[in-house]
Amino acid sequence: MAIIKQSLPRGYLLDGYRIERVIGGGGFSLVYLAYHIRTKAKVVIKEYFPHDLVDRLAGGRVDPVSADAVPQFQAGLKRFFSEGAALSKLKHPNIVHVSNFFRCNNTVFMVMDFEQGRDLRWFIKRTKGRLGEQFLLAVFPRILEGLRELHSYDFLHLDIKPANILLRASGQPLLLDFGAVQHLRPGEQCTGVQTLTHGYAPPEQYEEGAMGPWSDLYSLGMTMRMCITGKPPPAARQRLEKESLTPVSKTHHRKYSPQILESIDWSIELDYQRRPRDVNALLQLWNRKTKPRPKRGLLGWRP
């Protein structure tokens, strides 16, 4: 309810867009469904809104709650704007497109294409975590290719999970939600992570350790594991205290190809130095399997 109270109201006009409703948010942002007034196209707009640092004033303006909050607010604002600028340059069929970013109301907004489909959670729930090999081969190599493009610009997604992978009616997957994205060169420490999802975040994300493509691959590996087991993964910290995961190469070897199972087990190693160093290493393993052409109405659903 706090998110709703702080959000911009329905019908609010914002730099050529009309707000329809708030559809999500986290500690550092609010997310809206909106319409581009000129084209009538649906869009998703993310507003930089660090809840602990700001208040919403009459008319929609955002102001820091105190003088002490100003430096942190400004630093986050600068990062959000620069990330929007960089992400807008990315154009890949398996990454949601950032079509615009702008300053307004003393904060920054990022506009992304609105896409229709079902996220991966729907498929996992429907099949109780028994998604077949053809499904995995239609989804994850393409997500890896999109992730490779993101990494080529030294960006890390840092919140890959089933909720952030959308399956369009064509079967083409789409990586969503850049709420936690950070611009980091491999090995740099991650600071000020906006979103951390237990079970999918790697150990180094908790500990502000050396981050890199291997960090996103851990999250992707846990997402793949969820697809074949249906069981929510334990938090990395729990695994560090007591390992509770049996390798899927032992438990699912009769149902899936060795390459797929090996890629999952390899990606979720607790020690980042034992994981694939980059997407190419994992794709080489996946490419031993022939990619099927995705079928319309994957798993029989229609938009």
Domain boundary assignment for the chain: 15-113, 118-295
DSSP 8-state code for residue 58: T
The per-residue pLDDT for 79 is 80
Query: Whose CA is closest to 223, among 134, 126, 302, 144?
Result: 144
The CATH class for the domain spanning 15-113 reads alpha beta
Domain 118-295 has CATH 1.10.510.10: yes
For residues 3-7, give the mean pLDDT.
Answer: 72
pTM score, two decimals? Answer: 0.82
202, 236 Cβ separation under 8 angstroms:
yes
90, 99 Cβ separation under 8 angstroms:
no
How far is Cα 171 from Cα 134, in angstroms, rounded to an integer?
A: 11
For residues 187-207, give the mean pLDDT.
Answer: 76
The per-residue pLDDT for 1 is 42
The two tokens of residue 32 are 């809206």
* Mean pLDDT of the chain, nearest integer: 87
The two tokens of residue 302 are 């229609």
How far is Cα 84 from Cα 195, in angstroms, rounded to an integer?
A: 17
